[in-house]
């Protein structure tokens, strides 16, 4: 009887062990947690972690900023987060015909793991495309690789080339400032704290015009497609609201901030005061 009991327990444990292989978590952190023990977090495990976030991104909570402009420069930020504290920040910047870039910051909890930047810029009248990856461990850069080509299609065919240790030392790291700036853009703080300037009354389009409360030159325009009582108040009494922070919702549609009327607050729009 005792032998049969022990044999039965052994079979159950074997079946349970086998089933664990098939029910392994699909969460983007699952592989990297086990890999980190074996490899102490290298570029491969970090890229696998980032790819996991990219795959699961539609399930993440999304926040987004207004589109801020200063002269020819425009800046826009997105933040994606999930229940297990994986995060992805993206900042889009465009400086007219000179350059444009998308920088993605991959976090596991509060630890920045990877920065990936895709950029387009002019170099001696020639347009170039660049893709770079910066790897971090415990907040310290331990590697970076990059590739450059004359077209986006050609760029995808090229391998990444690693920077040498000497080249890495020459690079300045302002990651904390970058993340603070993106959070400020998302929450409307510091140089991105916007106040009402005016509302345009063009026949073909109407915009809420905002300006920075600080001395920065950042501005933002929000397209009004549908009027409501709040918009009527801005139109009839603009002086009453000038230089004050407005509390309203917007959405991003085709690279344009669009006002969300009070009657449509059941949308997923994100506003200045969350």
Q: Return the pLDDT at 13.
A: 40
**Quick one: DSSP state of residue 58?**
G
User: pLDDT per position in the chain (274 positions), as tens?
Assistant: 444 444 444 443 444 344 333 333 444 454 554 544 445 689 999 999 999 999 999 999 999 999 999 999 999 999 999 987 899 999 999 998 789 999 999 999 889 999 999 999 988 888 999 999 999 998 889 999 999 999 999 999 999 999 988 888 777 778 889 999 999 999 999 999 999 999 998 877 899 999 999 888 999 999 999 989 999 999 999 999 999 999 999 999 998 999 999 876 543 334 433 3
Token pair for 84: 């297990």
Token pair for 217: 């030159």
Q: Return the pLDDT at 98.
A: 82
Q: Which of 252, 267, 274 is nearest to 90 (CA)?
A: 252
Q: Return the pLDDT at 24.
A: 37
The Cα–Cα gap between 250 and 127 comes to: 34
> What pTM does this model have?
0.81
Classify residue 190 as exposed, middle or buried by CB count within 10 Å of its CB (0-12, 13-18, 19+).
Answer: middle
Q: Return the pLDDT at 29.
A: 52
Q: Return the pLDDT at 26.
A: 45
């Amino acid at each position: 009887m005792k032998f049969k009991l022990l044999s039965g327990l052994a079979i159950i444990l074997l079946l349970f062990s086998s089933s664990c292989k098939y029910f392994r978590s699909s969460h983007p952190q699952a592989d990297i947690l086990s890999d980190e023990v074996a490899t102490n977090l290298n570029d491969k495990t970090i890229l696998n972690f980032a790819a996991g976030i990219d795959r699961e991104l539609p399930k993440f909570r999304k926040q987004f900023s207004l589109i801020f402009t200063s002269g020819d420069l425009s800046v826009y930020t997105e933040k994606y987060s999930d229940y297990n504290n994986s995060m992805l920040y993206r900042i889009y910047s465009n400086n007219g015909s000179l350059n444009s870039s998308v920088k993605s910051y991959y976090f596991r909890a509060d630890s920045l793991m990877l920065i990936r930047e895709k950029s387009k810029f002019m170099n001696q009248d020639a347009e170039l495309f660049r893709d770079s990856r910066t790897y971090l461990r415990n907040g310290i850069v331990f590697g970076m690789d990059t590739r450059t080509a004359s077209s986006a299609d050609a760029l995808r065919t090229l391998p990444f080339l690693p920077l040498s240790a000497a080249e890495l030392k020459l690079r300045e790291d302002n990651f904390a400032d970058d993340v603070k700036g993106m959070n400020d853009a998302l929450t409307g703080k510091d140089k991105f704290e916007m106040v009402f300037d005016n509302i345009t009354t063009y026949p073909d389009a109407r915009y809420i015009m905002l300006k920075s409360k600080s001395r920065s030159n950042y501005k933002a325009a929000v397209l009004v497609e549908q009027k409501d009582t709040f918009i009527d108040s801005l139109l009839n009494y603009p002086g009453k609201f000038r230089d004050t922070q407005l509390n309203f919702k917007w959405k991003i549609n085709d690279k344009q901030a669009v006002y969300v009327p009070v009657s449509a607050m059941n949308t997923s729009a994100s506003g200045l005061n969350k």
